[in-house]
Amino acid sequence: MYLPRHFEETRVEELHRIITEYPLGMLVVNGPNGLDANHLPFELDPDTGERGRLLAHVARANAVWKEVQNGDEVLVVFRAADAYISPNWYPSKHAFHRQVPTWNYQAVHVHGRIRIRDDERFLRGVVARLTRVHENRISSGGRPWKMTDSSKEYIDQMLEAIVGIQIDVQTMIGKSKLSQNKDERDRINAAEALRKRGERLISGAMLNTVDGKD
């Protein structure tokens, strides 16, 4: 990933926040048939291992778990909110006519080593935790769905149809491209333009950054 210094995101808490709030990661592997990418919801376990772990599961019918060996190096890409930035939103453009369009975004690349986990206890734990987290996010006073809402026989059947994935994190590379390279007035005005268009997440991130750091 191209990473100019003013866009480099080194704060571990911010990298973890992006992964936790935007957990649908793109798992990239280099298997016998070449590069392959799968989009999976991941759980971040930051306190296990030297640098944390990513946990997920795939359908047993998905060949990816057969195309890798335990210990293979893989890449998982997470991306937060993003938006097109128009030069017209920069006050300096109207004064000097020296601005061009760009795209703002936040992303985290996680490099690690994969391990296939085909055991029921691991799978049940991952599914239960993922379900609990995301059901709680969407339930506004209602009763969140939980695994015990279905029969044990049905859940057992569903668990037999999936395979677990564990990725031991080696490095996390983060990029927060939020107009830190622009004058403060240009950055704030562009963020306000996005907010008016309903792009509140990326707008908020731009407003909260100063010289690349909150």
Please, are residues 60 and 118 in contact by the beta-carbon 8 Å criterion?
no
The answer to whether 209 touches 190, Cβ cutoff 8 Å, is: no
pLDDT digits (tens, 9 = 90+) for 141-179: 778 888 989 999 999 999 999 999 999 999 999 999 999
HSE-up of residue 115 (Cα within 13 Å, Cβ side): 10
Q: Closest Cα partner for 85 from 206, 209, 210?
A: 206
Element (DSSP H or E) covering residue 186: helix 184-196
Give mean pLDDT, residues 175-203. 95
Contact criterion met (CB below 8 Å) for 70 and 175: no
Q: Please determine, looking at this structure, whether the domain spanning 5-88+99-182 carries the CATH number 3.40.50.1980.
A: no
57: β partners: 164
| pLDDT, tens digit, 9 for 90 and up, residues 34-56 | 999 999 999 999 999 889 999 99
**Residue 28 region, left (φ>0) first, then alpha (ψ -120 to 50), else beta?**
beta
Lowest mean pLDDT among 21-30, 112-121, 201-210: 201-210
- 194, pLDDT greater than 80: yes
The answer to whether 120 and 98 have CB atoms below 8 angstroms apart is no
Q: Report pLDDT digits (tens) over 55-95.
A: 999 999 999 999 999 999 999 999 999 999 999 999 986 66
| Confidence at residue 213, expressed as pLDDT on a 0 to 100 scale | 42
> In the chain, what percentage of residues exceed pLDDT 90?
85
Distance between terminal CA atoms of the chain? Answer: 22
Residue 205: pLDDT over 60: yes
